[in-house]
Chain A
């Protein structure tokens, strides 16, 4: 089953007098349960592409279909709601609300979705146990290590039961041990629960773990490698 279908996606920035073709016709299909890394040098269009997939920016032309919804056609307020219901985000940093505990951070998204209190508390606890933080549910982000914070971010991303999780350089601020732990945990979730992960990364360790590696350059896909597990 295809989770994401991208057809002839183009993005042109007209911010200066010179036109910048950030994305030059991208075609891509991602299926449920994939563990994909998007790589490419700076200026390759990686960030722009990720913004499009995450519904944070709109394309100049082309289609992005996520789980049956053409997101390029959604109004900005509908798009916010679409992100809330369908996409789990893990950013490089500043993922969590510093004044909320780990448990509250995970609950927050579900509250926005209108999940009732008892149900969301239980699910938030379960998710934090699943990411290995069952004993830190009442800690605020400042009391957690970088790796632990990213685990909370993953739990938060999963809380909304998204169509896929978009992770933008999730390991950029982590040491190698934390990176290894985080990646193993995500791989485990991918295997066991068929959660679709899409990473954008520079990190070779992430690339090594990925089952599919898509390389961008000059706004185009120049390679799309699938590894046999």
Chain B
């Protein structure tokens, strides 16, 4: 019955309770929405990192990542791919030849990273083919096609069918070069990537470099699910002991950091909101206790012991906080669902976001367990908020409290 008393007490002063309930509700809803927005951005950044840039796992020569020299190749690509393919979680594989060099147009030149790919394999691993804004993906140009980023195209001042000349050293150290014809122009959400990446056929670049067709600098692997990243990485590391096997987390630690710091960011952010609300709750409950001195005195006189008085005020505070909290969580989720479906367009700030590799259309999302964590935090806040008002109540002397003139 103490539970019923506590619950009904909340609604004795409806206006006062509603004010604090609305404050809790709006505070938490905005907190949750912000976290969902942040999570949405992080997830999209990770998806971009996996789908466009790093894939799930990459295999290199042991020296290659420390010193990306053309001579550090995986020499037996086919047999390595065979071993990788036998892993149950591997969905697609793309072997690449990579070289950092100069690209020149009729007007100007710039440093680029040339990635030689097997177009069909690459299509299975990355979504480059879907990012084209002009031209085609290794379909029309028969001789030396090249697909480049929009930013780079602007910088080199080239269009479709324009010529781009790359100059490089072959495996023997001789200076050589070749002309490529622009077949496609792509745009990803990462302008830094678009400014420096070009894609050609692996067979073309290998021929120009006089590189054996079994040699690759990088094998990119797409898994069925990011959940299987660690286990697959472990087994591939064992199977390919002479090579360097790394996950996207190791290749792009900055993206991984954003992901791993989500939990603590959320905890701190929601914690700050709840801290501010804590004082509002204490104030409400203190008023509730002080205006009920006579009633509390009467209850203590007739035999309600201290534990029960404390429990009653604690329950009242926790329920008050939780009602506001649950409405807040519900409202926060409603906003998250809506903008998870509609997306939030940050087009106005696209330059800033895209330069850091973030999409400008953010789809909010939040794992369900987060609402459980937040509900738990609200309960803890309620308990903390109850302590001071409850202590005040416990200090009442029943004989005096009954006779107080309010």
Q: Are A57 and B399 in contact (CB under 8 A)?
A: yes
A109 touches B295 (CB 8 A): no
Query: Do residues B399 and A51 form an inter-chain contact, with CB atoms below 8 A?
Result: yes
> B319 near A: Cβ within 8 Å?
no
In the bound complex, do residue B402 and residue A107 qualify as a contact, i.e. CB atoms below 8 Å apart?
no
Which one of A61-69, A75-83, A182-190, A214-222 is at the interface? A75-83
The answer to whether B332 has its CB under 8 Å from any CB of chain A is no
**Interface flag for A54 (CB, 8 Å):** yes
A83, B299: Cβ atoms closer than 8 Å: no
Alpha-carbon distance A95/B295, docked complex (angstroms)? 7
Taking CB atoms, residues of chain A closer than 8 Å to B300 are: 80
Contact B302 A77 (CB under 8 A): no
Chain B residue nearest to A80 in the complex (CB): B305
The complex places the Cα of A51 from the Cα of B397 at a distance, in Å, of: 11
List B314-362 residues whose CB lies under 8 Å from chain A: none
- Bound CA span A17–B150, Å: 91
Least Cβ–Cβ distance between B296 and chain A, in angstroms:
10
Say yes or no for B367: interface residue by CB 8 A criterion.
no
Q: How far is the CB of B181 from chain A (nearest CB, A)?
A: 83
What does DSSP make chain B's interface, helix, strand, loop or mixed? helix
Q: B306 within 8 Å of A by Cβ?
A: yes
Q: Which of chain B's residues has its CB closest to A54's CB?
A: B301
- B402 is contacted by which of A77, A85, A94, A108 (Cβ under 8 Å)? A94
Tell me if B12 and A99 are in contact (CB < 8 A): yes
Task: Determine whether the beta carbon of A84 is less than 8 Å from that of B302.
Answer: yes
Report if B9 contacts A (CB, 8 A): yes
- How distant is the Cα of A56 from the Cα of B301 in the complex, in angstroms? 7
Answer yes or no: A97 CB below 8 A from chain B CBs. yes
Contact of B5 among A51, A54, A99 (CB under 8 A): A99
Minimum CB–CB distance from A122 to chain B (whole Å) comes to 16
The yes or no answer to B184 lying at the interface (CB within 8 A) is no
Asked if residues A100 and B5 are in contact (CB atoms below 8 Å), the reply is yes
Instruction: Identify 19 residue pairs between A and B in the complex whose beta-carbon atoms are under 8 Å apart, listed by A's number.
Output: A51-B399, A56-B301, A56-B399, A57-B399, A80-B305, A81-B305, A89-B301, A91-B301, A94-B294, A94-B402, A97-B5, A97-B295, A99-B5, A99-B9, A100-B1, A108-B5, A109-B302, A112-B303, A112-B304
Ranked nearest first, the 4 interchain pairs of A and B with the lowest CB-CB distance are A84-B303, A99-B8, A56-B399, A94-B294
